Amino acid sequence: MKGIIFAAEGFEDLEVFYPLHRLKEEGIDVKIASMEKGKVFGKHGYPVNVDIAFSEVIPEEYDILVISGGKGPEKMRLDQDALKIVTSFFENNKPVAAICHGPQLLISAGVIKGRRATSYIGIRDDLIAAGAVFEDKEVVIDKNLVTSRHPNDLFAFGKEMIGLIKK
Amino acid sequence: MKGIIFAAEGFEDLEVFYPLHRLKEEGIDVKIASMEKGKVFGKHGYPVNVDIAFSEVIPEEYDILVISGGKGPEKMRLDQDALKIVTSFFENNKPVAAICHGPQLLISAGVIKGRRATSYIGIRDDLIAAGAVFEDKEVVIDKNLVTSRHPNDLFAFGKEMIGLIKK
């Protein structure tokens, strides 16, 4: 089984490393994807190696997509290849887990309308404006989609993220 | 079920937050313990609330002990109450998981002699001098004791830490 985590410069460190190690715990082969290969740094200074550029990703090869938060999503949402990957996962009802600012990509990909979701409170109104049914909960599960608000929710996010792929 | 995580100023952030959320994922009630109650900061700047001082801990109430690494262990190993907690866990063969510099407390508590273990490579020779059988592996399991080397091993550390309490 393969997983892909989206991360870009200024990512929320725990929101990349918790899902990364948690998926690896389950024996899942995880790749970090971003605008280009190389190294990116989290807002707290942790580096992570980018294994693959968005433009090289074949979405069909992956079983779960995780979108981390922090300052990365405002950059990643401008990348058309990133949005194509998101769209592909939704069209095929494949597991997507987005946390914090991660749902900004769901707005830009046009996949959030009518879906129950949560996010960092600072972008709550953007989700609502885009047609999401916003819920202020540690984790919201709506079919293939799991969303959480911030790093303090990672225990619940991790549990439901794993729940999606164990169905 | 209850867990306790040791952390002090300068802790390795991921080595506190990964076990914290991972144990919470399993429904375990987790307390952060340190020299005194209040707030301590990781070396990457994440704050964590200290729920309980070492002097207040009743070891019998907890089912697993996790010792995080970073710069915290050199301070915590000087605290006699912290060492008493470690000793109690070993005397009762209860699960202990230590990562990175965390095994410094196992040396100071005098519980590492003859045990297979790993640690951050910078303290490898201290473990050997204290009588441990050192192994350079992502995770080493020796009865009640699980040890790992650094944050990149967290996926393996997390898996075996949970394995200890699910036995």
Are B157 and B100 in contact, with CB atoms under 8 Å apart? Answer: no
Distance CA A51, CA A40 (A): 11
Average pLDDT over residues A113-136: 98
**A158 → closest Cβ in B25, B44, B151:** B25
Instruction: Give pLDDT tens digits for B95-116.
Output: 999 999 999 999 999 999 999 9
CATH code reported for the domain at A2-166 = 3.40.50.880
Tell me whether residues B22 and A155 touch, CB distance under 8 A: yes
Residues of A within 8 A of B10 (CB-CB) are none
Residue spans per domain, chain B: 2-166
What pLDDT is attached to residue B22? 98
Residues of B within 8 A of A154 (CB-CB) are 17, 21
Are A154 and B17 in contact, with CB atoms under 8 Å apart? Answer: yes
Distance from CA of A157 to the nearest CA of B (A): 9
Confidence check: pLDDT of A167 > 80 = no
Are A108 and A131 in contact, with CB atoms under 8 Å apart? Answer: no
DSSP H helical segments within chain A, as ranges?
A: 13-25, 73-76, 80-91, 104-108, 124-129, 154-166
* ipTM score of complex: 0.95
Instruction: Give pLDDT tens digits for B108-142.
Output: 999 999 999 999 999 999 999 999 999 999 999 99
With cut-offs at 50, 70 and 90, classify the pLDDT of residue A144: very high
Average pLDDT over residues A96-103: 98
Average pLDDT over residues B149-156: 98
What pLDDT is attached to residue A125? 98
Instruction: Give pLDDT tens digits for A53-97.
Output: 999 999 999 999 999 999 999 999 999 999 999 999 999 999 999
What pLDDT is attached to residue B166? 87
Q: Please give the model's pTM, rounded to 2 decimal places.
A: 0.97
- Using a pLDDT cut of 90, give the percent of chain B over it: 99
Are B8 and B35 in contact, with CB atoms under 8 Å apart? Answer: yes
**Minimum Cα–Cα distance from A161: chain B residue:** B25
Distance from CA of B33 to the nearest CA of A (A): 18
Average pLDDT over residues A35-63: 98
Confidence check: pLDDT of A133 > 80 = yes
What pLDDT is attached to residue A150? 98
With cut-offs at 50, 70 and 90, classify the pLDDT of residue A166: confident
Chain A: residues touching B (Cβ < 8 Å): 13-14, 17-18, 20-22, 24-25, 44-46, 151, 154-156, 158-159
Instruction: Give pLDDT tens digits for B58-107.
Output: 999 999 999 999 999 999 999 999 999 999 999 999 999 999 999 999 99
Confidence check: pLDDT of B167 > 80 = no
The mean pLDDT value of chain A amounts to 98
Distance from CA of A14 to the nearest CA of B (A): 7
